[in-house]
Structure 1
Amino acid sequence: AHMALGQLVKAWPDDVTLVTQNIDDLHEKGGANRVIHMHGQLSRALCAGCGARWDAPPEMHTQDRCPDCDARATRPDVVWFGEIPYHMELIGAALAQAELFVAIGTSGSVYPAAGFVAEARAQGVRTLELNLTPSDTAGAFDAVRLGPATEVVPAWVAQVLEPGLG
């Protein structure tokens, strides 16, 4: 699924905005080069003291010091429950400009991401859910395709990239 999305991003680099709630780098490994990580990235570190960010070492420890301010306030650069997700203005702008919003592999129960389908529909954007089972927000989508992401995502991407359909 990640490789198929990478193909889509490569085929339409100016037309696809890929937003993920995942904190891994599987989208990048799949070939996507512009990914909005709304919940941060486990491969990055954050200083809770000064806000500095840097590539995380293979192992992080509570005694690690920030390279900018020397504080012992380092942590993984991920959003914990109760914190505001990253890049919300950028995501909102992308939703406002979208022609199609696709949600893949989500429960549809964690906000603010669970509200993206309603936000997209309010803008007149077509919506599609690709999921193993219907999400909590499946009824808000124009169309729902069910099955394993390893099957439904590559099939959908192949259909979208088929000549004459894009």
Structure 2
Amino acid sequence: MARKKKLVVLTGAGISAESGISTFRDSNGLWENHSIDEVATPQGWQKNPGLVLEFYNQRRAQLAEVVPNQGHTILKDFEKYFDVTIITQNVDNLHERAGSNDIIHLHGELTKARSSVSASMVYEIGTKPIKLGDKCKKGSQLRPHIVWFGESVPMIEIASEMTAMADILIIVGTSMQVYPAAGLIDCVGKNVPIYIIDPNKPNVSLRSNMTFIEEMGSVGLKQLFDKLTKK
């Protein structure tokens, strides 16, 4: 039996937006009326942990109200034909809920909490809130298991290794402006086909092996699925 080709997919906020999840920032540079500095930096956490916890508690509550969309389910369907690894910048669990099996979360996971003194002490919390006074086993306040701006991205090395193994790379729903995730495109072999799906063409260096599909994630993925799985 022939080896399945390695399909690596980098997903961003655009794919989850179709499920009703707000993208990271709107045109005013805000996220749900909060500045990034207030809710997505270690400094914001130190300044006002209550605000940060409430912000992510609201995101978690929103997550309980939404479901995976067709884009997520198509990525699951790709597994019938390819060895699929999804590298996501999203902190939601919609890829998991759609049934995808190999997912790397670059920026953390909303459904987990972790110790504020030990990044290795991680707890599954689902969509429950984290409150001031909720502590880890070491007695320190729990914080969202989110990689904030200014923090290292622990999974980027594994993501880079996976991307370097790709026979095909799909990029969907990301502006390719947030690093180090945006740099993953440079890890693929020079002859590896790259498909970029987004209504707005991201600002990336053009290559001969690059194809743009200027559609929403679900529409573009359906077109690409039909193309790549034709016998």
Normalised to the residue count of structure 1, the TM-score between the two structures is: 0.86
Q: Does 1:113 align with 2:188?
A: no
For residues 87 and 38 of structure 1, what CA distance do their matches in structure 2 show?
Answer: 6
Compare relative contact order (CA 8 Å, sep 6+) and give the higher one, 1 or 2.
2
What pairs up with 1:48-59 in 2 under 5 angstroms? 48-51=116-119, 52-56=121-125, 58-59=128-129
For residues 77 and 21 of structure 1, what CA distance do their matches in structure 2 show?
Answer: 13
Question: Alpha-carbon deviation of 1:104?
Answer: 0.4
Contact kept? 1:101, 1:128, Cα under 8 Å: yes
Q: Does 1:3 align with 2:78?
A: no
Structure 2 unmatched ranges of 5 or more:
1-70
Contact kept? 1:129, 1:138, Cα under 8 Å: no
For the aligned residue pairs, the C-alpha RMSD in angstroms reads: 1.8
Question: Alpha-carbon deviation of 1:161?
Answer: 2.5
Q: Does 1:36 align with 2:104?
A: yes
Question: Alpha-carbon deviation of 1:81?
Answer: 0.8
Contact kept? 2:197, 2:212, Cα under 8 Å: yes
Given the superposition, is the C-alpha separation of residues 133 and 35 from structure 1 closer, same or farther in structure 2, using an over 3 Å criterion?
same
AA at the equivalent of 2:105: H
Partner residue in 2 for 1:154 = 222
For residues 20 and 149 of structure 1, what CA distance do their matches in structure 2 show?
Answer: 14
Contact kept? 2:196, 2:213, Cα under 8 Å: yes
For residues 157 and 98 of structure 1, what CA distance do their matches in structure 2 show?
Answer: 17
What is the total number of aligned residue pairs between the two structures? 158
Given the superposition, is the C-alpha separation of residues 90 and 129 from structure 1 closer, same or farther in structure 2, using an over 3 Å criterion?
same
Normalised to the residue count of structure 2, the TM-score between the two structures is: 0.63
User: Structure 1 vs Structure 2: percent identity of aligned residues?
Assistant: 27
Contact kept? 2:104, 2:155, Cα under 8 Å: yes
Structure 1 unmatched ranges of 5 or more:
none
Q: Deviations over 1:107-137 (max 9, x none)?
A: 1111111111122255x43211011110111
For residues 138 and 2 of structure 1, what CA distance do their matches in structure 2 show?
Answer: 27
